[in-house]
Structure formats: structure tokens, C-alpha cells
Structure 1
Amino acid sequence: MQKDPHKLLEKYKSGNCSEEEKAIVESWYLELERQQAPAHEVITKSKDQVWTSLAEKTTRPLEKTASGKVYLFKAAAWAAVVFLVVSVVYLTGNRQKDVPMANGSAKDDVVPGGDKAFLTLANGRKISLTDAANGEIAKEAGLSITKTADGQLVYTVKEDTETSTNLLNTIETPKGGKYQINLPDGTRVWLNAASSLRYPAKFVGDKRMVTLTGEGYFEVAKNREMPFIVKTAGQEVHVLGTHFNINSYADEGSVKTTLAEGSVRVIPAAEAEKITLKPGEQSELDNKGIKVKKADLEAVLAWKQGDFIFDGEDLKSIMRKVARWYDVEVIYKGVFDHLKFGGSISRSKNISSVLGIMEETGSVHFHIEGKRITVTDTTK
């Protein structure tokens, strides 16, 4: 069966479904017709059945536990729930092929972000990586900086070259931007929108220290003699070589460190306790202290894969992510603490598609005017 529910719906419309696939899609429609209820109510009641149907065909092992295998299929399941909303547009006879656009003219629709970043060298020179041509873009003492054809930033360090640890570079992404950088030691870093990373032009001494604001995903090159340290607001993360994500946006109210593989130590600045994370765990540091919980890796890393995944997330949290990626201002009219949404959609869609899916639930209304989004509660 198709792993992508959206493709399954397209396959259904073109008449190429197997009998099993056809039955799943038509069951969504029949459930809507039978209940004659708002789409979001039908979704809530039937999502477990959709998850089960998809899980039988799309699960893949994540890790083994004492009781057997753990399967990772939530993204596919949530996509089914989201596209069940979208399918209402097609299956009930509406001729629109896309999710209805949130209120506002087509000219006000906002395109998604992309590869945008600025590199500030130790000498103060600032380079727009968005506009820079591919190839070598700068030279510093003992190294060259190259922009590759696929937009990555790569450092090539000359061996046996003395480089001062005071030579610090900074790469920063604006709202509506993202970027990948290969650091001088071979570590790869993906920066989300409105983020920055400060790092030395060459790692020397007994540690590799960088400073992060915003959100970044790290694949750290192994070096047991030189630990890699990521400094953020209120904490440091120490690793030897592993994969992890850090979310440290100032407007989120906490710093979240999520481990994908390997091992990391999270050291809060205000506490003597050191937290060691295992794969699949997340630490959350706020003004009340630090706690560790099991992480939803797919949801945490969705931004790196080019998606939004919301698993019962509150509206304002979702809109903070939307605002950073589409570089928009959000204005609220009403109280929204009671509104939570689940679903998945590509970050390559225009903002109207993202907002339109939430608007389809009948719980909230969005008005797009230029770079301003006005949110209204429709449940009261």
C-alpha cells in the first residue's frame, strides 16, 4: 500500500487503487456520510482505525525492547488524519484540489522559507550565503570556505597550520531561512529558521566549543580526545560523537535536547546534576529545573525532513513555528489555550495550506493580510 496517504487519495481518484486500498479510502467517506458530523469530530473518532490500517502496511522497526519490537509509524498515521480532512474536499463533491485557503486574497498568500543564511567571518566580513555563487567564497588563516552545489557550507582546513582560537565565525538564518554547514572538524549542523551558530575557524585544544541560539540538529564527528560542547541558554551539552537536536528559542520558555543516537550529557548551568540521555529521550530545561521524558523523534526532527508534525500541540506553539518559517507576524483575537491540533504537512506548502487544514476543523479562523496573520476563535 502507498505509504503516503496523500498519494493514496490521488491513486484512488485516478482509479488505480487495489481493493484493499479502495476499501480504506471509501471507509473514510462512508464514515463522514453516516455521521453527518463536522470533519474534525469524525477524525477524532476514526483515527485509531486509520492508524491500524496504515500501521499494518507501513510500520518499520525502531528499536527492540524486552517485550519485543517498537514500531515507528506515527508520521504516516497523522498524515492519514490530516488528509482525511483534505479528502472531505474531494469526496463530498467540492472541485477544489487543494485545502481551502485561509481567508485573504491569493496575492496575500505567503510562500515557505528556504536556504537562506548569513556568514560573519572573524574579521567582520558578512557574506550572504543565499546570494553567494557556488565554489570558494572566503579564505581565512589556514582554511577555505566553500559553498557546494546543493547549498552546504564546507570548511577545508590545511594541516599543520596555526589558527587562533579567537577566530570565531557566526552563521545565522533569518526567519524564513534554514541552512546546513559542515564544520572544520567534519561535524554537520542543520540550522532551523531564526537560529545562529558561533564556532571557531579551527578546533584546537582539548575541546570543540560552539554556541547555539534557536534550533539545530547536530551530527558530531567522533573525536574522543576532544569532546564537542554545545552551549545554549542555561546549559551545555557534551558529546564525543553522536546525533541530537537542540531547541533553544527564547520564546519557547524552555530548552529541549533530544537524542537520536549515541549518548550526550546535559549540564544545566544552575545545577550540579548532570543528565545523561539515551536514544529516544528528551531533556527539557526551564525555570523550574530539568526533566527527562521519552521523545517523539519524528515530530522533533520533522523540520529537518521538511515537514510540520503536530501531535496534540497547542495552537500558539504551532503558530510560533509557522511564524518563524514563513516570516510572519501573528495576532490573536480570543483565548486559545484550549485548542490543540494533530497532523502532518510539508513545509514546502504555502502558508494558506497549513492554516487551511486547521481551519477545516471549524475551531479557528485565519485572516492573511500581507505578512500579518490574524487568528480568531470560532468555538465561542
Structure 2
Amino acid sequence: MNDIKAKALLRKYAEGSSTAEEKLLFEQWYASLNNTDHLRLTETELELAEQEMLKKLPVVVPEKTKRLRPYTITAAAAAIGFAIAAGLWWYKPDHKINNSNIEVQARNNILPGDNKAILTLADGSKISLTEAMKGELAQQAGVSITKTRDGQLVYQVKGRGSKVVYNTIQTPRGGQHQVILPDGSKVWLNAASWLRFPSSLALATERKVELRGEAYFEIAHKRKHSLFVVVTANQEIEVLGTHFNVNSYADESIARTTLLEGAVRLSTPAGQSYVLKPGQQAVSGKDQPLSIRNVDVSVVVDWKEGLFVFNKESLESIMRKLSRWYDVDVVFENEQLKQQLFGGKVSRFSTVAEVLDVLELTDLAHFKIEGRRIMVVK
């Protein structure tokens, strides 16, 4: 943001005449200032901004968070910047979607994704989970399918079905959903993903599901039917009772399985096998052998917690995530821009323009929005 725009926003902010979007943009920009950037404003202006924003901080300030920053630049963040960032809306711990508030702030901007998915039953019939009311949706092969008040899809075994039938739940770009499988296991599906599973999963001797895209699993432990298997294009994951995340998108060159709790045995089509420990991530691809590394699991499951967390991540990878979540197409002006690295934390429920505004603070890249297409330029 240039000096003229920053000062204009500050003046409106102090007068109380700025819109909700302008307030958020100015607070994000101010929170990201480093020592050199503070020279853009006079001492009086800085003091005014500080006083106005400190009035808005909650009585209990949550844990401090990091601003977005380019890894090609090193600068100490201003102490007041961190304090203000801790109290901003886009870092608050309540990450539930509030579409009415977002619409007021974003006006005609591209809004974030929401809880939506399509359930395809064994007979080929499709149910929109976005439009379906709470209550029972269907019964098949001894299994009742219901939608809860908070939008979860729940499978309950009512009796023994005569045959094994398969269901598929699919999220579009700009969608996510949670499902409780017939065996009690919980699955969170990220955008542009699908999960295929038998409705008789609770009674199967081997609980096997297929995944494309990304999902977080909390597997229910069953004594009689202990083995749970997740099959992706590049990996097969054997599970006992555990929590783990699988990222296996078709447009990603590698698949990643990250263990948070318990133990999983992972194997590849090439015959490689490894037992993961908590905090480890298995990486493999069509032309890449299986490798294991230690990771920060909070970064891996950021999407489930309502955040985008970037840790020395390329702009190409970041824009793929934004493309799926906001249902937009991305075009790069040149290939070098894809390799720029960023780090930081942004609410997953900000509008796309708010996320791009924060990325632009680094001056490493700029963005033009044309309909549902984002142009990345220098």
C-alpha cells in the first residue's frame, strides 16, 4: 500500500467514516509494518492509529500471531503491530462462517467457501447437502443417512443390509464438509475432494475408503474390525485408531500423509512401506520415491481450523489453495513469480481481495481480479 492510500485510510479511520472493509484493510496493513515502514507516517499519525486500534482490542488478548512476510526480506516487526494483529478479526479463534457479516464487508467481492457437497448414493441418485434440510435424507442397505443441525452428514447402521453398496461424497471448489462414517470415524473433506466408502463400513472385516483431494481423519477404533484403509492415487494407508491428514490432489505433483496421533502404515505402488510416528509426514509421487520428514502438524491442518498458514511456501502453491477455496482461476504473468516464498497466517474466511491485499504488502507480487480470474503480476 502506498503512502497516499495509507494516509487516506487513516484519516477515514480516525473520523469513523471508513467502511468495514477499509477498517480491516488498514488494520492489516498497520499490523504488518516493520521499523522502516513506520517512517511513512508521522509520529502524530502513528500515535493516532495506535490509540484508535488499541480501543478495539479485546480485554483478553489471544496468543500473538505472525504477519505475512517475504523470505527474501528480513525486518523486525513493530511491537505495536504484533499487539494489534493479535486482536484483529481475521485471527480470532472463532472460525465459524458468518456469511451475512462477510457480505457486508466484501460487498461485491469474491467470498470464501462454505459447507457444501454432493452425496451420490449407490443407485446413482444425488443429494445436495447444501440445500438438504436437517433430518433423515435416505435409507439404504440397513443404513440411515441423516444431516445434523450443524450440517454434518451422519451414517447410522440400523440393521444388516443384504449387499455392499457404495456412496460418494464430493465437495466442489469453494466447498468443504464433514461426515461421520457408519463405523463412527469422522472425516473432514477439504475443497475439490471426494471420498468413496461402503455404507456397510461398520460391519466390514476391512474398512476401506478411497480419497481424491484432501481430508482429515479421526478413525474410530474397532476391536473386531480394527483395520481401516485409505486408498489414494499414490499411497495406501493402513490405520488403527488415529488422527491423520491426507493431501492427494491431482494437480499436486506429490501426495502427503501427515500423522497427528496414533500410528499408520503407509505403502506405495512401487512396494515401499513405512510406519509413521506422530509429527511425521510421508511424501511420495508418481516419479518420486517415498520419503519421511518431520513437520509442524498445525500448518498441515490449518484448513480444518479455518486458517491459511504459509511456512516458506511458494506463491504457486498458495494460489492453488486460493483457487480451490474461492473457486477462481489463476494466471501468472511469468514463471518466476511462482517461486516467490511467503510465510504467515490469514483467516480462511476472509474475502479473496483481503487475502490478496495482505500478500501484496510484501511487494513481491501484485494481483488483478477479473471476474473469477486472478492475474498474478510483478
Root mean square deviation, CA, Å: 2.8
Corresponding residue for 1:23? Answer: none
Corresponding residue for 1:213? Answer: 212
Corresponding residue for 1:360? Answer: 361
Report 1:339-354 matches (<5 A): 339-354=340-355
The C-alpha deviation readout for 1:30-85, integer Å capped at 9, x for no partner, is 82367779xxxxxxxxxxxxxxxxxxx988xxxxxxxxxxxxxxxx4425869x69
Q: What residue identity is the alignment partner of 2:184?
A: G
- 8 Å CA contact 2:68, 2:342 repeated in 1: no
Q: What residue identity is the alignment partner of 1:118?
A: I
For residues 342 and 143 of structure 1, the distance between their equivalents in structure 2, rounded to whole angstroms, comes to 45
For residues 33 and 282 of structure 2, the distance between their equivalents in structure 1, rounded to whole angstroms, comes to 41
Corresponding residue for 2:300? Answer: 300
The percentage of aligned residue pairs carrying the same residue is 45
How big is the shift at 1:307? 0.5
For residues 126 and 312 of structure 2, the distance between their equivalents in structure 1, rounded to whole angstroms, comes to 41
The C-alpha deviation readout for 1:193-226, integer Å capped at 9, x for no partner, is 0000000011234200000000000000002432
SS at match of 2:66: helix
Corresponding residue for 2:36? Answer: 32
How big is the shift at 1:299? 0.9
Q: Which deviates the most, 226-235 or 183-192?
A: 226-235
SS at match of 1:31: coil
For residues 31 and 231 of structure 2, the distance between their equivalents in structure 1, rounded to whole angstroms, comes to 51
How big is the shift at 1:338? 3.6
Corresponding residue for 2:21? Answer: none
Corresponding residue for 2:283? Answer: 284
- 8 Å CA contact 2:68, 2:358 repeated in 1: no
Corresponding residue for 2:332? Answer: 332
For residues 32 and 304 of structure 2, the distance between their equivalents in structure 1, rounded to whole angstroms, comes to 31
Instruction: Quickly say closer, same or farther: Cα 1:133–1:261, change in 2 above 3 A.
Output: same
Corresponding residue for 1:233? Answer: 233
Report 1:25-174 matches (<5 A): 31-32=35-36, 76-79=64-67, 109-159=109-159, 161-165=160-164, 167-174=165-172
For residues 113 and 198 of structure 2, the distance between their equivalents in structure 1, rounded to whole angstroms, comes to 28
Instruction: Report the TM-score, using the length of structure 1 for normalisation.
Output: 0.73
Instruction: Quickly say closer, same or farther: Cα 1:107–1:368, change in 2 above 3 A.
Output: farther
For residues 204 and 356 of structure 2, the distance between their equivalents in structure 1, rounded to whole angstroms, comes to 49
For residues 239 and 187 of structure 1, the distance between their equivalents in structure 2, rounded to whole angstroms, comes to 12
Corresponding residue for 1:244? Answer: 244
Q: Provide structure 2 residue ranges, at least 5 long, that are not aligned to the other structure.
A: 1-13, 15-29, 42-60, 71-76, 91-105
Instruction: Quickly say closer, same or farther: Cα 1:58–1:290, change in 2 above 3 A.
Output: farther
Q: What residue identity is the alignment partner of 1:32?
A: T
How big is the shift at 1:164? 1.7
For residues 362 and 181 of structure 2, the distance between their equivalents in structure 1, rounded to whole angstroms, comes to 44
For residues 116 and 107 of structure 2, the distance between their equivalents in structure 1, rounded to whole angstroms, comes to 23
The C-alpha deviation readout for 1:113-168, integer Å capped at 9, x for no partner, is 00010000001110000000111111112111100000000011114x13422x00
Q: What residue identity is the alignment partner of 1:78?
A: K
SS at match of 2:305: coil
How big is the shift at 1:372? 0.5
Q: What residue identity is the alignment partner of 1:169?
A: N
- 8 Å CA contact 2:138, 2:145 repeated in 1: yes
Corresponding residue for 1:188? Answer: 186
- 8 Å CA contact 1:163, 1:201 repeated in 2: no
Matched, 1:176 2:174: yes
SS at match of 2:182: coil
Instruction: Quickly say closer, same or farther: Cα 1:244–1:237, change in 2 above 3 A.
Output: same
Instruction: Quickly say closer, same or farther: Cα 1:108–1:330, change in 2 above 3 A.
Output: farther
Corresponding residue for 1:71? Answer: none
Instruction: Quickly say closer, same or farther: Cα 1:171–1:30, change in 2 above 3 A.
Output: closer
For residues 186 and 242 of structure 1, the distance between their equivalents in structure 2, rounded to whole angstroms, comes to 13
Instruction: Quickly say closer, same or farther: Cα 1:150–1:181, change in 2 above 3 A.
Output: same
Instruction: Quickly say closer, same or farther: Cα 1:139–1:325, change in 2 above 3 A.
Output: same
| Number of residue pairs the alignment of both structures matches | 300
Q: Provide structure 1 residue ranges, at least 5 long, that are not aligned to the other structure.
A: 1-12, 14-25, 38-56, 60-75, 92-96, 99-105
For residues 182 and 150 of structure 2, the distance between their equivalents in structure 1, rounded to whole angstroms, comes to 18
Q: Which deviates the most, 175-184 or 339-348?
A: 339-348
SS at match of 1:284: strand
Instruction: Report the TM-score, using the length of structure 2 for normalisation.
Output: 0.74
- 8 Å CA contact 1:333, 1:374 repeated in 2: yes
Instruction: Quickly say closer, same or farther: Cα 1:298–1:158, change in 2 above 3 A.
Output: same
- 8 Å CA contact 1:163, 1:202 repeated in 2: no
The C-alpha deviation readout for 1:10-35, integer Å capped at 9, x for no partner, is xxx9xxxxxxxxxxxx9986823677
For residues 179 and 28 of structure 1, the distance between their equivalents in structure 2, rounded to whole angstroms, comes to 33
